[in-house]
Structure 1
Amino acid sequence: MNEKMTQNQRLDYLVEEFKTDSVQYKGLETPKDTGGKRRILRSLMNIRMPKAFPDDVLAVQDEYLTGRAEEKGIVRLSDIPEIRDGLSIWQGDITRLAADAIVNAANSQMLGCFVPMHTCIDNCIHTFAGVQLRAECSRQMNQLRIKYGKDYEQPTAVPMLTDAYNLPAKKVIHIVGPIVQYKLTPELEKELADCYLNTLDMCLVNNLRSVAFCCISTGVFHFPNKRAAQIAVSAVDSWLSQHSGAMERVIFNVFKDEDKKYYEELI
Structure 2
Amino acid sequence: MAPTSASDIPSLNLLYKLKKLDVSRLGPLKGASPVHNDRIGLFRGDITTLSVDAIVNAANTSLLGGGGVDGAIHRAAGKGLLAECRTLGGCPTGSSKITNGYNLPCQKVIHTVGPVYNDSKPAESEAHLRSCYRTSLELAVQNDLKTIAFSAISTGVYGYPSLDAANVACDTVRKYMDGDDGKKLDKVIFVTFEEKDVRAYNSLLPRHFPPSIPASSDQDSITGEQAAEAEAKASQLPDVPTTDPADSEHVPKKQRQSNED
1:139 and 1:191 map into 2 onto residues whose CA distance is 24
- Could you say what secondary structure the match of 1:198 adopts? helix
Deviation at 1:181, TM superposition (A): 4.1
**Aligned pairs (5 A) from 1:96-111:** 96-111=49-64
- Could you say what secondary structure the match of 1:73 adopts? coil
- From 172, 190, 196, give the equivalent of 1:252: 190
* Coordinate RMSD, CA, aligned: 1.3
Q: Could you list the per-position Cα deviations for residues 91-112 of structure 1 after superposition, in whole angstroms to 9, with x for gaps in the alignment?
A: 0000000110000011111111
Look up the match of 1:82: 11
| Conserved? CA contact 1:164–1:170, under 8 Å | yes
Deviation at 1:185, TM superposition (A): 1.5
Aligned length: 180
The residue type paired with residue 259 of structure 1 is D
Deviation at 1:225, TM superposition (A): 0.6
The residue type paired with residue 123 of structure 1 is G
**1:166 partnered with 2:103:** yes
Change (3 A) 1:224 1:171: same
Look up the match of 2:133: 196
- From 136, 139, 148, give the equivalent of 1:211: 148
1:219 and 1:258 map into 2 onto residues whose CA distance is 10
| Conserved? CA contact 2:118–2:125, under 8 Å | no
- Could you say what secondary structure the match of 1:219 adopts? coil
Look up the match of 2:91: 154
The residue type paired with residue 127 of structure 1 is R
Q: TM-score if structure 1 supplies the norm length? A: 0.65
- Could you say what secondary structure the match of 1:102 adopts? strand
The residue type paired with residue 245 of structure 1 is K
Look up the match of 2:169: 232
Q: Which has the higher helix share?
A: 1
Change (3 A) 1:263 1:182: closer
- Could you say what secondary structure the match of 1:127 adopts? helix
1:122 and 1:206 map into 2 onto residues whose CA distance is 22
**Aligned pairs (5 A) from 1:73-152:** 73-83=2-12, 84-113=37-66, 118=67, 120-141=68-89
**1:241 partnered with 2:172:** no
| Conserved? CA contact 1:179–1:217, under 8 Å | yes
Q: Could you list the per-position Cα deviations for residues 29-84 of structure 1 after superposition, in whole angstroms to 9, with x for gaps in the alignment?
A: xxxxxxxxxxxxxxxxxxxxxxxxxxxxxxxxxxxxxxxxxxx2211112111111
The residue type paired with residue 80 of structure 1 is I
1:205 and 1:181 map into 2 onto residues whose CA distance is 31
Q: Could you list the per-position Cα deviations for residues 132-163 of structure 1 after superposition, in whole angstroms to 9, with x for gaps in the alignment?
A: 1000000222xxxxxxxxxxx42112111000
Deviation at 1:179, TM superposition (A): 0.8
Q: Could you list the per-position Cα deviations for residues 107-136 of structure 1 after superposition, in whole angstroms to 9, with x for gaps in the alignment?
A: 1111112xxxx5x00100000100110000
| Greater relative CO (CA pairs within 8 A, separation 6+) | 2
The residue type paired with residue 112 of structure 1 is G
Q: Could you list the per-position Cα deviations for residues 157-213 of structure 1 after superposition, in whole angstroms to 9, with x for gaps in the alignment?
A: 211100000100000000110111443511111110111111101111100111000
| Conserved? CA contact 1:101–1:171, under 8 Å | yes
Change (3 A) 1:183 1:73: farther
**Aligned pairs (5 A) from 1:169-188:** 169-188=106-125
Please tell me whether Structure 1 or Structure 2 has the larger radius of gyration of its CA atoms: 1
Deviation at 1:85, TM superposition (A): 4.3
Shifted more, 196-205 versus 240-249: the winner is 240-249
